[in-house]
Amino acid sequence: MAIKVLAFGQISDILSRSEMEFSAMKDTEELRREIAKQFPGLSALNYVISVNKKIVLQNTSLKDNDVVALLPPFSGG
């Protein structure tokens, strides 16, 4: 049972990698909490989550082999 997590932008710096795996997570909120616990630097950052490429702004249940992406907003131009 695993969930693949892809990191974008500054998040990949904080995680020191652009891809990692997490063991079974009930939903995106649990995943957010777990990531924040392991990477406190992430708490100051705003980001949205996608599950299997679909942006989900509200808590969403996760299942085995889901691919979750963490996307921060960019403002540069």
What are the residues binding another protein (CB under 8 A)?
A: 6, 8-10, 18, 44-46, 48, 50, 53-55, 57-58, 69, 71-77
Question: Which residue lies nearer to another protein by CB, 40 or 77?
Answer: 77
Question: Are β-strands 2-7 and 67-71 bridged in parallel, bridged antiparallel, or unpaired?
Answer: parallel
Question: Which residue lies nearer to another protein by CB, 7 or 35?
Answer: 7
Task: Provide the β-strand partners of residue 55.
Answer: 50
CB of 73 to another protein, least distance (A): 5
Residues 22, 49: Cα–Cα separation, whole Å: 15
